[in-house]
Chain A
Amino acid sequence: MFSSLMLVSLLVLTLPIMSSIFNTYKNSTFPHHVKNTISYAFITSLIPTMMFIHSGQETIISNWHWMTMQTLKLSLSFKLDYFSMIFVPVALFVTWSIMEFSLWYMHSDPYITRFFKYLLTFLITMMILVTANNLFQLFIGWEGVGIMSFLLIGWWYGRTDANTAALQAILYNRIGDIGFIMAMAWFLFNTNTWDLQQIFMLNPNLTNLPLLGLLLAATGKSAQFGLHPWLPSAMEGPTPVSALLHSSTMVVAGVFLLIRFHPLMENNKTIQSLTLCLGAITTLFTAICALTQNDIKKIIAFSTSSQLGLMIVTIGINQPYLAFLHICTHAFFKAMLFMCSGSIIHSLNDEQDIRKMGGLFNAMPFTTTSLIIGSLALTGIPFLTGFYSKDLIIETANTSYTNAWALLMTLIATSLTAVYSTRIIFFALLGQPRFLPLTSINENNPFLINSIKRLLIGSIFAGFFISNNIYPTTVPEMTMPTYMKLTALAVTILGFTLALELSLMTHNLKLEHSTSVFKFSNLLGYYPTIMHRLPPLANLSMSQKSASLLLDSIWLENILPKSISQFQMKTSILISTQKGQIKLYFLSFLITLTLSMLLFNLHE
Chain B
Amino acid sequence: MSLVHINIFLAFTVSLVGLLMYRSHLMSSLLCLEGMMLSLFVMATMTVLNTHFTLASMMPIILLVFAACEAALGLSLLVMVSNTYGVDHVQNLNLLQC
A interface vs B, CB < 8 Å? 572-573, 576-580, 582-583, 586-587, 589-590, 593
Contact = CB atoms under 8 A, between A and B. Distances in A.
B55 interface: no
- Judged by DSSP, the binding face of A is helix
B94 A580 contact: yes
A506 to B, nearest CB: 74
- Judged by DSSP, the binding face of B is loop
Interface of B: 16-17, 19-22, 29, 90, 93-98
B95 A587 contact: no
A237 B22 CA distance: 86
A392 B93 CA distance: 91
Contacts, number: 36
Given A576-B98, A579-B94, A590-B16, 7 more contacts: A576-B96, A577-B98, A578-B98, A580-B95, A580-B96, A582-B93, A587-B21
Nearest to B26: A582
Contacts of A573: 96, 98
A579 B21 contact: no
A580 to B, nearest CB: 4
29 contacts: A573-B96, A576-B96, A576-B98, A577-B98, A578-B96, A578-B97, A578-B98, A579-B94, A579-B97, A579-B98, A580-B93, A580-B94, A580-B95, A580-B96, A582-B90, A583-B21, A583-B22, A583-B90, A586-B19, A586-B20, A586-B21, A586-B29, A587-B20, A587-B21, A589-B20, A590-B16, A590-B20, A590-B21, A593-B16
Closest 5 A/B residue pairs (Cβ): A590-B20, A580-B94, A586-B20, A579-B97, A580-B93
A576 B20 CA distance: 23
A589 B16 CA distance: 11
Given A582-B90, A583-B90, A572 B21 contact: no
Contacts of B94: 579-580
Contacts of B16: 590, 593
Nearest to A583: B90
A577 B98 CA distance: 6
Contacts of A572: 96
A543 B54 CA distance: 64
A213 B90 CA distance: 74
Best-buried of A576, A577, A580 by chain B (most CB within 10 Å): A580
Contacts of B20: 586-587, 589-590
A580 B22 CA distance: 15
A604 to B, nearest CB: 11
Nearest to A576: B96
A566 to B, nearest CB: 14
A210 B95 CA distance: 68
Contacts of A590: 16-17, 20-21
A580 B21 contact: no
Contacts of A583: 21-22, 90
B72 to A, nearest CB: 18
B81 to A, nearest CB: 11
